[in-house]
Amino acid sequence: MTDATGRLAPDALSLPQLGGRPNLRQEIAHTLRGAVITGQLRAGVLYSVPMLAEQFGVSATPVREAMLDLANEELVTIVRNKGFRVKELSDRDLDEITSLRALIEVPTVAEIARAINEPTRAAVEALRPLTKEVERLAETGDLIGYVEVDRRFHLSLLALAGNRLLIDVVGNLRARSRLYGLQELAERGELGRSAAEHEQIVDLVVAGDAPGAAALVRRHIGHVRGSWAGHHEP
């Protein structure tokens, strides 16, 4: 529900109380980014900083700073003296983002698997707690938490390639995605199937199975424009 100014009413959002936590700006940015990606912050709607601050139970300053971070990532636009509006993306935009992610991530994960050694194997194994956490979040329906842990898993895995610019690019592409189908999948109890692919990716990379890892990562990214987007996947 919106008010007379077109801003979304406070009771229309479900955001966690974050007052008093360390790294508040970063935590708020992560939460708002997840809310944009999952559609809890809706495209085209004007959101005011005071309203969001009230939802989080914090002062306006860290919220304003976090929203400026999202503006720099081109997720929202600044509406002078009013607030921020979530950017709308076309299906073509989202298809291009997904295609570019596949071009970068699939060969990178394959190369990590192909060049696996003991130190790298240990680093990949260290990602298993994230795979368990993303499955737990899928089961509980915590979509914002799911998106954040999913991001951490994939960027941590890609970081093993040693290319910092690649991480920045993929991180930005992931943030610009829209996964409006997650809520429906969670409600049907089907999000866990996608979540389970994270541990399967770990298994394939640890085993040095480059073709298998590449195929699974390609399918996993495909969910972004399939079931995760609210579309049927073949």
Q: Which residues contact 57 (CB under 8 A, 6 or more apart)?
A: 17, 18, 19
2 DSSP 8-state letter: B
Measured CA distances, 139 to 54, 116, 183 (Å):
28, 31, 12
> Is a pLDDT exceeding 80 seen at residue 96?
yes
Local structure of 224: helix, strand or coil: helix
Measure the CA–CA gap between 30 and 135, rounded to whole angstroms. Answer: 19
This prediction's pTM: 0.81
Q: Residue 134 class from Cβ within 10 Å (0-12 exposed, 13-18 middle, 19+ buried)?
A: buried
Nearest Cα residue to 46 out of 1, 97, 19, 8 = 8
Bridge partners for 197 per DSSP: none
pLDDT at residue 136, as a whole number: 94
| Domains of the chain, CATH where assigned | 10-86 (1.10.10.10), 91-229 (1.20.120.530)
pLDDT at residue 51, as a whole number: 92
Local structure of 227: helix, strand or coil: helix
> Is a pLDDT exceeding 50 seen at residue 2?
no
pLDDT at residue 5, as a whole number: 42
- Do the beta carbons of residue 73 and residue 30 sit within 8 Å? no
pLDDT at residue 38, as a whole number: 85
DSSP sequence for 171-220: HHHHHT---TTHHHHHHHT-HHHHHHHHHHHHHHHHTT-HHHHHHHHHHH
Give the burial string for 152-163 (b: 16+ CB within 10 Å, else e): ebbeebbbbbee
Q: For CA atoms 160, 164, 166, 172, give the dihedral sign.
A: positive
Taking each helix axis from N to C end, the angle separating 24-38 and 49-56, rounded to the nearest 10 degrees, works out to: 110
Nearest Cα residue to 128 out of 103, 102, 152, 92 = 152
**pLDDT tens digits, one per residue of 51-94:** 999 989 999 999 999 999 999 888 899 998 889 999 888 889 88
Using CA atoms in the order 185, 2, 145, 60, what is the torsion angle rounded to 10 degrees?
Answer: 170
pLDDT at residue 9, as a whole number: 44
Mean pLDDT of the chain: 86
- List own/partner pairs for 200-203 with CB under 8 A and 24 or more apart: 201/109, 201/157, 202/124, 202/125, 202/127, 202/128, 202/131
